[in-house]
C-alpha cells in the first residue's frame, strides 16, 4: 500500500436480508482527504460506513492502512436520553481520562462547566459538537461521520462544518462523511462518491457532479416518492 | 430483635440494593418489565420447591434461565416485539404453576415469604448478590454504551453479544433471589421502581446508580421493619415502600 493511502476499497458488495444494498463499489482515500458520500435516503450510505467499520458482512475487499485509528459517530443516538448521563459521563465512556476530556472540550470551544450538564439538556447544536468531541478522544487519524448535522438549524450546521474543517487542519485528520446535502460537498470536501445502491460518480466534486449525474442520483428518489403516494 | 428477623433484614437489604442497581440498566434498555414475566415463569419452580420443601430460589432459577432462553430464541425466530414475547412466556408460566401449586402455600409463591429464611440460605443469597453487584459494576460503562448505540459500541470493539448475555444472566440471578423476598408477582417492581425513582432525582450516571441502590436498600429495610411491626407480608410492604419513595421522587424531580 502506498504510504499516504489510508483506505482502498475494491469491488465492494453488500447484501442484507437478500437485498443488494451496495453494488460493485471501488474507491480510495488518501491521508488528509475529506470524502463525502452523497446520495438520497435509502441509497446505502450508512450501510457503507458500517461496512467500512467491519460491522456488516460484505463481498470484495476493504483495506485500511495498518494500525490506523478510526473514530465513528452514528447518525442518531435516540436512546441517549434514556439514561441520566452528564456530558462527562458520556465522554468517559470512550476510555479516556479527565485531562483529555477537558482538552478536547476546550479544542471545540466549550467551557469545562458543560461537563456537568445532562446530555438530555443540551441543544441539538451543542450535542452535535459533543459528538465531535467524542470522535476526537483517543486521537484518531480517521473520522467517519454519518450526517453530522441531522436535526440542527442552518447556523448550527455551519458551526459544525467550520469546526470539522478547523480540526482537520489542526490534527491532520482524514474525514469520511455521509450527507444528502449537496452544498456541504462543494464547500467542505475534496472528493465525492455519489451512491444510489450503484456507484454513480466518484471524483472531484466540481468535475463529477454534473447535471446528468445528479439527475441519475436523485431522479430515482423523485420517482420513488411519486410511486409511494 | 430476633436473629430470624436480622437474617430477613440482611437478605432483603442485599437483594433490594442489587436489584435496584441492575434495574437502572434495565430501565435504560427499556426492559424494566422483563423481570415481570420472568418472575411469573418461576412459579412452577417455586411450586416444586414448596411441595418438596427446598430453597425457593433454587427452584426458581432453572425456570428463569428457561424463560430467558425462550425470550431470546423467540426474538431471533420471530419479528414480534420483545414485550409481546414476554407476555406469551409469562402467562404460560402462571398457567403451568396453577395446575399443581399447593393452594395453601400460594401466598408465599405469589408475594414472597422472607420470614423463614435460614442461615445458609441467607449466606448464599448475600454471596450471590455481592457477586452480581461486582459484575454489574464491571459491565456498567460498556452496557451504557450498548444502550446508547450498538453500532457505536461495536465500533469501539465491544463484544455486544457477550455483554448482553452476561446482562441477561444477571437478571436471571436477581429474579431467582427476588422471588424469595417479594414473590413471583412483584419481582419486576423490585428492580424497576428504585431505578424510576432514582432517575427522577439524578443528573448523572453515578447519582442514578447510587440512588437506585440506596432506594432499593431503604425500601427493603422499611418493608421488613413494617412486617415485623404489623405482621402483614413483607413482600408487598417492600414494594409499597418503593412506591411511596417513587411518589416522593416525583415531587423533587430534577
d(CA A162, CA A182): 16
For B154-208, the pLDDT digits (tens) are: 988 899 989 988 998 999 999 999 998 898 888 889 999 999 999 999 999 999 9
Query: Are B122 and B7 contacting, i.e. CB atoms less than 8 angstroms apart?
Result: yes
Q: How far apart are CA B146 and CA B153, in angstroms?
A: 5
Q: Which of B210, B202, B236 is nearest to B222 (CA)?
A: B236
What CATH code is carried by the domain that includes residue A229?
Answer: 3.40.50.300
> How many C-beta atoms lie closer than 10 Å to residue B125's C-beta?
25
**Using 50, 70 and 90 to split pLDDT, how confident is the model at A222?**
very low
Label residue A162 by pLDDT band (50, 70, 90): confident
Sheet of A5-16, strands arranged across: A19-30, A5-16, A59-64
Lowest-pLDDT range of A56-65, A150-159, B155-164, B217-226: A150-159
**Residue B211 above 90 pLDDT?**
yes
pLDDT at B133: 97
Q: Is A109 a domain residue?
A: no
Q: Among residues B2, B15, B4, B5, which one has the least CA distance to residue B126?
A: B15
Domain B3-188: give its CATH architecture. Orthogonal Bundle (1.10)
- The pLDDT confidence band at residue B89, using thresholds 50, 70 and 90, is confident
| Confidence band for A228, pLDDT divided at 50, 70 and 90 | very low
Residue identified by cell 422471588 is B179
**Is B159 part of the contact surface with chain A (CB cutoff 8 Å)?**
no
Residue B216 pLDDT level (bands cut at 50, 70, 90)? very high
| pLDDT tens track for B37-56 | 888 888 889 888 888 888 88
Answer yes or no: do A118 and B204 touch at CB < 8 A. Answer: yes
User: What's the total number of domains in chain A?
Assistant: 1
What was the pLDDT predicted at A185? 85
Domain of A202, in residue numbers: 1-68+141-151+172-229
| Strands of the sheet with A174-179, listed across from one edge | A70-73, A142-146, A174-179, A34-38, A191-196, A198-203
Q: What percent of chain A has pLDDT over 70?
A: 91
8 Å CB contact of A77 and B155: no
Subunit contact A82:B147, Cβ cutoff 8 A = yes
What does the block give as the cell for B30?
427499556
Predicted TM-score (pTM) of this structure: 0.88
* Cβ within 8 Å, pair B207-A84: yes
pLDDT at residue A111 tops 70? yes
Q: Which residue of A has its CA nearest to B31?
A: A82
Q: Where do the H-state alpha helices sit in chain A? A: 45-52, 87-92, 98-107, 124-136, 154-171, 182-188, 205-208, 211-228
User: Which three cell numbers, joined as nine digits, stand for B251?
Assistant: 415531587
A79 touches chain B (CB under 8 A): yes
Mean pLDDT over A73-87 rounds to 83
> Contacts of residue A92 in chain B, CB cutoff 8 Å?
141
Q: Which residues contact A94 (CB under 8 A, 6 or more apart)?
A: A134, A137, A138, B156
Check A83 against B154: CB less than 8 A apart.
Answer: no
Position A128 in a domain:
no
The whole-angstrom separation of Cα A2 and Cα B23 is: 52
Distance from CA of A208 to the nearest CA of B (A): 31
- The pLDDT of residue A72 is 92
Residue B223 sits at the vertex; the CA angle it makes with B168 and B6, to the nearest 5 degrees, is 90
Lowest mean pLDDT segment, chosen from A22-26, A155-159, B113-117, B195-199: A155-159
Interface test with B, best of A81, A84, A120 (most B CBs within 10 A): A84
B147 with B25: CB under 8 angstroms?
Answer: yes
* Contact partners, residue A23, CB within 8 Å, separation at least 6: A13, A197, A198, A199
| Å between B128 CA and nearest CA of chain A | 26
Q: What percent of chain B has pLDDT over 90?
A: 52
Integer CA distances (angstroms), A26 to A150, A186, A193, A215, B253, in order: 27, 22, 10, 21, 54
Confidence of residue A187 (pLDDT cuts 50, 70, 90): confident
Task: Tell me what pLDDT residue A168 has.
Answer: 86
Mean pLDDT of chain A, nearest integer:
84
Residue A196 contacts by C-beta under 8 Å, 6 or more apart in sequence?
A: A39, A40, A43, A44, A216, A217, A220, A221
- Across the interface, of A77, A86, A94, the residue whose CB is closest to B203 is A86
What is the C-alpha separation between B253 and B201, in angstroms, rounded? Answer: 5
Contact B24 A83 (CB under 8 A): yes
What is the chain A residue with the closest CA to B195? A83
pLDDT over 50 at A225, yes or no: no
What was the pLDDT predicted at A226?
39
| Average pLDDT across chain B, whole number | 89
Question: In the predicted model, is pLDDT for residue B95 greater than 80?
Answer: yes
In a domain, A223, yes or no: yes
- Of residues A71, A83, A89, nearest to B147 (C-beta): A83
B82: confidence class by pLDDT, cuts 50, 70, 90: low
Segments making up each domain of chain B, as ranges: 3-188
Amino acid at each position: 500500500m502506498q504510504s499516504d493511502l489510508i483506505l482502498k476499497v475494491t469491488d465492494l458488495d453488500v447484501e442484507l436480508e437478500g437485498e443488494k444494498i451496495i453494488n460493485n463499489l471501488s474507491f480510495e482515500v488518501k491521508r488528509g482527504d475529506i470524502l463525502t458520500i452523497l446520495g438520497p435516503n435509502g441509497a446505502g450510505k450508512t450501510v457503507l460506513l458500517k461496512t467500512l467499520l467491519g460491522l456488516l458482512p460484505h463481498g470484495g475487499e476493504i483495506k485500511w492502512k495498518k494500525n490506523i485509528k478510526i473514530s465513528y459517530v452514528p447518525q442518531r443516538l435516540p436512546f441517549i436520553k434514556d439514561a441520566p448521563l452528564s456530558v462527562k459521563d458520556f465522554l468517559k465512556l470512550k476510555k479516556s481520562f479527565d485531562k483529555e476530556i477537558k482538552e478536547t472540550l476546550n479544542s471545540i470551544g466549550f467551557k469545562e462547566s458543560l461537563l456537568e450538564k445532562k446530555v438530555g439538556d443540551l441543544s441539538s447544536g451543542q450535542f452535535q459538537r459533543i459528538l465531535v468531541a467524542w470522535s476526537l478522544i483517543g486521537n484518531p487519524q480517521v473520522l467517519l461521520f454519518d450526517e453530522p448535522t441531522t436535526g440542527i438549524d442552518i447556523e448550527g450546521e455551519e458551526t459544525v462544518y467550520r469546526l470539522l474543517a478547523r480540526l482537520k487542519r489542526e490534527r491532520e485528520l482524514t474525514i469520511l462523511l455521509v450527507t444528502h446535502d449537496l452544498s456541504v460537498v462543494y464547500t467542505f470536501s475534496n472528493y465525492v462518491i455519489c451512491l444510489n445502491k450503484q456507484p454513480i460518480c466518484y471524483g472531484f466534486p466540481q468535475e463529477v457532479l454534473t447535471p446528468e449525474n445528479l439527475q441519475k442520483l436523485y431522479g430515482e428518489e423523485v420517482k420513488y416518492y411519486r410511486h409511494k403516494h | 430483635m430476633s436473629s430470624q428477623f436480622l437474617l430477613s433484614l440482611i437478605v432483603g437489604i442485599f437483594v433490594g440494593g442489587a436489584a435496584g442497581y441492575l434495574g437502572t440498566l434495565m430501565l435504560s434498555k427499556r426492559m424494566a418489565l422483563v423481570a415481570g414475566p420472568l418472575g411469573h415463569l418461576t412459579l412452577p419452580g417455586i411450586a416444586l420447591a414448596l411441595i418438596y420443601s427446598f430453597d425457593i430460589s433454587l427452584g426458581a432459577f432453572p425456570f428463569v434461565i428457561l424463560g430467558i432462553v425462550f425470550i431470546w430464541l423467540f426474538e431471533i425466530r420471530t419479528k414480534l416485539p420483545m414485550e409481546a414475547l414476554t407476555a406469551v412466556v409469562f402467562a404460560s408460566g402462571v398457567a403451568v404453576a396453577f395446575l399443581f401449586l399447593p393452594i395453601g402455600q400460594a401466598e408465599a409463591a405469589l408475594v414472597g415469604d422472607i420470614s423463614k429464611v435460614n442461615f445458609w440460605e441467607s449466606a448464599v443469597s448475600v454471596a450471590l448478590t455481592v457477586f452480581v453487584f461486582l459484575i454489574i459494576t464491571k459491565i456498567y460503562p460498556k452496557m451504557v454504551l450498548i444502550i446508547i448505540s450498538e453500532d457505536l459500541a461495536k465500533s469501539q470493539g465491544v463484544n455486544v453479544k457477550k455483554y448482553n448475555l452476561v446482562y441477561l444472566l444477571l437478571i436471571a440471578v436477581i429474579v431467582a433471589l427476588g422471588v424469595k423476598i417479594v414473590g413471583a408477582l412483584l419481582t419486576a417492581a423490585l428492580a424497576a421502581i428504585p431505578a424510576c425513582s432514582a432517575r427522577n432525582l439524578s443528573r448523572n450516571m453515578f447519582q442514578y446508580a447510587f440512588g437506585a441502590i440506596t432506594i432499593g436498600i431503604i425500601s427493603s429495610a422499611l418493608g421488613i421493619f413494617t412486617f415485623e411491626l404489623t405482621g402483614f407480608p413483607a413482600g408487598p410492604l417492600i414494594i409499597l415502600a418503593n412506591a411511596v419513595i417513587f411518589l416522593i421522587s416525583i415531587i423533587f424531580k430534577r
